[in-house]
């Protein structure tokens, strides 16, 4: 009898351990790195492993709600931030929020939406920033949509014309979200940033994590720093984001170094645009240039250095490894996509042949562990595009949850587990685009739960909170 109990406990603990390992996501607390894959040829690996929020983005379940927004305006959000105690978060219920003045983030106070699909922050102002992190620490924005109130841009891409055409809102220099001024350990997690005016997201900070965001569309794409997802500062982690229809995803300025750009879906180019500090890592991203993206003047390639001889080259090389690049605007070219090679660059300003600007470093520099970012304990691969698009709402649950697969799917298994790894429900679904699960009969107590969606090849897990 004792042996049976011991065996039962052993397998229960094993199940909990394995479940917990599957539930962690890159950027979470507790994520670890495989030390056996460190390579003496690559001393940068140690620092890259420390990119992003130090200690990880805090689990919402580990924080306490400090305030709830009751007036659905920027002033109402700001009032809730000011009333929230440090170390707690501000809760935004589902609804549409009118952003007419800057929302100033505060150290140790985060914004958490009820759901990304349900919390819509519409920016209706012609200047300034929508959300500003200035010299802030340990604060972030999670689970919401930030959208410009000006409709969709007329053009998806920069046009072969002057700024009168490329800047569709010439008097509007609003930045949707800015993290700057010495900020550190801040995050944007599971946020859509849509139809911005001048810039969707500007980072000039350190140890920032941008994770699970969808960044799409900007009205101003003309010369002189318009239309950027601007990645500046050092030791930042850009993971599992989808980005498209901007002028540039840009790494620039001398303090821009040791950033990790990992497992994103970029449907446009990535540029080392101007005078970056080098030692930035671009690994395991899907970089696809759509067929309608410009291919002459301007001319986009999957990974680029400075466009102009007026822009200084990177101060040190950057590193490109195991990316899947496809240029549909250049007859389906697939540069820098050989997994057996590691590339570095850029080496030229406005080169005559952009494909030679990032060069094969040779077989002796291929890392022994097959990666320069040997993260462990992660969930589904970014290469499973259908899994990448799944959304679940609300993430703070009451009676039911909805799973939106975005398209009709093959057979999937849905499992709900509690914090101890115990199975609450199992459900198989197929030929469905959206599924609603009734939780009323499961008597969930307050706490954290994990919703796991799987098929034969992949697993994706969502953290849910029952209050």
CATH (domain of 436): 2.60.40.3080
Asked if pLDDT for residue 22 goes beyond 70, the answer is no
Q: Are 336 and 445 found together in one domain? A: no
pLDDT at 418 (0 to 100): 82
Q: Are 295 and 397 found together in one domain? A: no
Q: Are 212 and 151 found together in one domain? A: yes
Q: 47 in a domain, yes or no? A: yes
Q: 191 in a domain, yes or no? A: yes
CA–centroid distance for 197 within its chain: 20
Tell me the average pLDDT across 237-253: 97
pLDDT at 168 (0 to 100): 94
Q: Are 304 and 404 found together in one domain? A: no
Q: Which residues of 376-395 are buried (b: 16+ CB within 10 A; e: fewer)?
A: ebbbbebeeebbbebbbbbb
pLDDT at 426 (0 to 100): 87
Structure confidence at residue 7 as a pLDDT band (50, 70, 90): very low
Number of structural domains (the chain) is 2
pLDDT at 386 (0 to 100): 53
Asked if pLDDT for residue 380 goes beyond 60, the answer is no
Asked if pLDDT for residue 111 goes beyond 70, the answer is yes
Tell me the average pLDDT across 58-81: 95
**Residue span of the structural domain in which 427 resides:** 389-466
Cα distances from 336 to residues 6, 253, 283, 343, 452, in angstroms, run 53, 24, 11, 7, 34
Q: How far apart are CA 440 and CA 327, in angstroms?
A: 49
Average pLDDT, rounded, for the chain: 90
Max distance between CA atoms of the chain, in angstroms, equals: 82
The better pLDDT of the pair 15, 327 is held by: 327
Q: Are 288 and 410 found together in one domain? A: no
CATH number, domain at 371? Answer: 2.160.20
pLDDT at 457 (0 to 100): 61
Residue count (the chain): 467
Q: Are 205 and 311 found together in one domain? A: yes
Q: Are 360 and 439 found together in one domain? A: no
Residue after which a domain boundary falls, among 376, 405, 420: 376
> How does pLDDT run across 26-42, given as a tens digit for each residue?
999 888 899 999 999 99
Q: 12 in a domain, yes or no? A: no
Q: Which residues of 241-267 are buried (b: 16+ CB within 10 A; e: fewer)?
A: bbbbbbbbbbbbbeebbbbbbbbbbbb
> How does pLDDT run across 335-367, given as a tens digit for each residue?
999 999 999 999 999 999 999 999 999 999 999
Q: 428 in a domain, yes or no? A: yes
Q: Are 160 and 82 found together in one domain? A: yes
pLDDT at 466 (0 to 100): 82
């Amino acid at each position: 009898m004792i042996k049976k109990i011991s065996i039962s406990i052993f397998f229960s603990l094993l199940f909990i351990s394995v479940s917990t390992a599957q539930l962690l996501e890159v950027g979470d607390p507790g994520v670890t790195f495989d030390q056996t894959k460190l390579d003496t040829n690559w001393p940068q690996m140690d620092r890259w492993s420390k990119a992003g929020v130090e200690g990880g983005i805090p689990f919402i379940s580990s924080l306490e709600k400090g305030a709830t927004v009751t007036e659905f305006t920027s002033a109402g959000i700001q009032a809730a931030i000011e009333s929230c105690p440090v170390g707690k978060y501000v809760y935004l219920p589902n609804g549409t929020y009118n952003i007419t003045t800057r929302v100033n983030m505060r150290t140790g106070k985060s914004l958490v939406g009820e759901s990304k699909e349900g919390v819509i922050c519409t920016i209706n102002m012609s200047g300034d920033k929508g959300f500003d992190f200035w010299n802030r620490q340990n604060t972030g924005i999670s689970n919401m949509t930030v959208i410009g109130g000006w409709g969709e841009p007329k053009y998806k891409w920069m046009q072969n014309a002057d700024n009168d055409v490329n800047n569709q809102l010439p008097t509007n220099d609003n930045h949707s979200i800015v993290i700057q001024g010495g900020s550190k350990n801040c995050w944007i997690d599971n946020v859509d940033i849509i139809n911005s005016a001048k810039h969707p997201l500007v980072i000039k900070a350190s140890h920032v994590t941008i994770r699970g965001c969808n960044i799409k569309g900007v009205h101003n794409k003309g010369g002189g720093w318009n239309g950027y997802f601007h990645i500046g500062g050092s030791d930042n982690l850009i993971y599992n984001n989808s980005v498209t229809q901007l002028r540039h995803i840009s790494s620039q300025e001398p303090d821009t170094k040791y950033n990790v750009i990992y497992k994103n879906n970029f449907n446009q180019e990535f540029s080392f645009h101007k005078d970056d500090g080098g030692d930035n890592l671009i690994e395991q991203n899907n970089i696809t240039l759509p067929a309608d993206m410009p291919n002459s003047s301007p001319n986009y390639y999957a990974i680029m250095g400075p466009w102009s001889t007026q822009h200084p080259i990177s101060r040190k090389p950057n590193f490109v490894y195991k990316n899947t690049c496809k240029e549909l605007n250049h007859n389906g070219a697939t540069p820098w996509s050989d997994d057996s090679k590691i590339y570095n660059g850029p080496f030229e300003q406005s080169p005559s042949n952009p494909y030679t600007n990032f060069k094969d470093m040779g077989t002796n520099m291929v890392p022994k562990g097959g990666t320069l970012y040997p993260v462990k304990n992660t969930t589904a691969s970014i290469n499973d595009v259908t899994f990448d698009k799944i959304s679940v709402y609300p993430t703070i649950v009451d009676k039911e949850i909805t799973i939106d697969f975005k398209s009709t799917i093959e057979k999937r298994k849905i499992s709900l587990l509690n914090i101890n790894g115990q199975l609450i429900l199992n459900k198989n679904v197929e030929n469905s685009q959206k599924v609603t699960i009734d939780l009323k009969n499961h008597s969930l107590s307050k706490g954290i739960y994990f919703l796991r969606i799987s098929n034969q090849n992949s697993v994706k897990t969502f953290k849910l909170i029952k209050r």
